[in-house]
Structure 1
Amino acid sequence: MASVNRWVRPEVYPLFAAVGVAVGICGVQLVRNICINPEVRVSKENRAAGVLENFSEGEKYAEHFLRKYVRNKTPEIMPSINSFFADSTRN
């Protein structure tokens, strides 16, 4: 029991959380690629088909919901705080 207390301290919880989030993101990307990537073929029948010229399926995979959502957004993390400190018309 003493060895468990040495490794599982409250200071280590953020590390566990960060590693858990990273593993979760990798898992989601892996499942996404295996399930819906048009270039990945798991079954033997699909692999035998060779190279397919299905551009619509590839575009559907590349233009996913998150990419469509952030396309017209400004690349800022906190836009209201940025505009508060950077707005020259406030002075």
Structure 2
Amino acid sequence: MDGGNKWIRHEVCPLFAAVGVAVGICGMQLVRNMTTNPEVRVTEEKRAAGVLENFAEGEKCSQQFLRGFVRNKSLEIMPSINKFFSDPN
């Protein structure tokens, strides 16, 4: 043995990386919901307000930039190739 310098095997490093990325994504989503979601109320003053009928703020939260960008676009990756193979001209 080499004196205990190998207490972490190199085979588990990708597992640590994958779990680290997953925890990071969960943390990012938690912070995003706590700061921008109108239905999440952290402070006591906002919780005392009860149910709010603020549809404009909810729409702003749910329709983020990416959804607005792809709303009127074709959801195909290569529309010209798809049209070439699907149209019977």
Cross-structure match for 2:67: 67
Cross-structure match for 1:43: 43
Name the stretch that deviates more: 66-75 or 20-29: 66-75
Cross-structure match for 2:58: 58
- Number of equivalenced pairs: 81
Check 1:49–1:64 CA distance in 2 against 1; reply closer, same or farther (3 A cut): same
* CA–CA distance in structure 2, aligned partners of residues 55 and 40 of structure 1: 14
How far residue 6 of structure 1 moved from its aligned partner, in angstroms, is: 4.2
Under a length normalisation based on structure 1, what TM-score does the superposition of the two structures give?
0.69
Check 1:21–1:70 CA distance in 2 against 1; reply closer, same or farther (3 A cut): farther
Higher normalized helix content (fraction of residues): 1
How far residue 29 of structure 1 moved from its aligned partner, in angstroms, is: 0.4
* CA–CA distance in structure 1, aligned partners of residues 46 and 65 of structure 2: 26
Check 1:47–1:29 CA distance in 2 against 1; reply closer, same or farther (3 A cut): same
Cross-structure match for 1:32: 32
How far residue 20 of structure 1 moved from its aligned partner, in angstroms, is: 1.2
Q: Which amino acid aligns with 2:6?
A: N
* CA–CA distance in structure 2, aligned partners of residues 12 and 26 of structure 1: 21
Identity %: 59
Name the stretch that deviates more: 19-28 or 67-76: 67-76
**Per-residue deviation, residues 52-82 of structure 1 (Å, max 9, x unmatched):** 1000100111111233344435365xx5xxx
Cross-structure match for 1:14: 14
**Per-residue deviation, residues 21-55 of structure 1 (Å, max 9, x unmatched):** 11111011000111111011111111111111000
Under a length normalisation based on structure 2, what TM-score does the superposition of the two structures give?
0.70
